[in-house]
Amino acid sequence: FYAEETKDGRIYVFNVKANWEHIKKLEATLTRDLATYVPTWAYEFAARTGPGLQPISGYEWGAGHAAELAYLFPSFDNGVPIAPTFDAEEQQLATEMKQYWGAFVQQGDPGVPGQTAWPSYSTEQVVLSLQPGGRSTLLSDATLADEHQCAFWDPLTSTGG
């Protein structure tokens, strides 16, 4: 979670939609609960073919936990520089993400002209799926649950059902 308090005392919350299948339902519930009380924006980091937390030739990490950190903070690495290995589409995503986060800090809303609109979950109940090459898109909770096969995973976890 990222939280920011504005000069007028309002608190805004980003809820990170991680890619761990077994906690999707819990996160969706938490996002809905937060959105009831404070303006909330939700995202899913979906750069599945990027270099991951440590570039390994031929290995596809997927969009794992903390993989987005190198997109936001170019100096972030695990002993091996990551951001310099981004292809053009991943570099574009990194730029877009920094613009979203910067707009959020500056104005309390991550909206950036010319980029995929990012409405608050509080008003539209959608998640921004951050994808390389300008392909970021808005997803409903139902679409997100479908894409991550939550119906399969729910019965297998303590948070299911």
Using an 8 Å Cβ cutoff, are 110 and 120 in contact? no
**Percent helix, percent strand, percent coil in the chain, to nearest 5:** 40, 15, 45
Q: What does the pLDDT look like over 12-57, one tens digit per residue?
A: 555 444 444 445 566 777 888 888 888 899 999 999 888 888 777 7
**DSSP structural state of residue 54:** S
What is the value of pTM for the model shown?
0.79
pLDDT of residue 45: 93
**Residue bearing tokens 């991680």:** 18
> By C-alpha distance, which of 103, 81, 83, 99 is closest to 91?
83
Per-residue pLDDT tens over the stretch 112-128: 999 999 999 988 889 99
- Nearest Cα to 130, choosing from 38, 43, 19? 43
pLDDT at 139 over 70: yes
DSSP 156: G
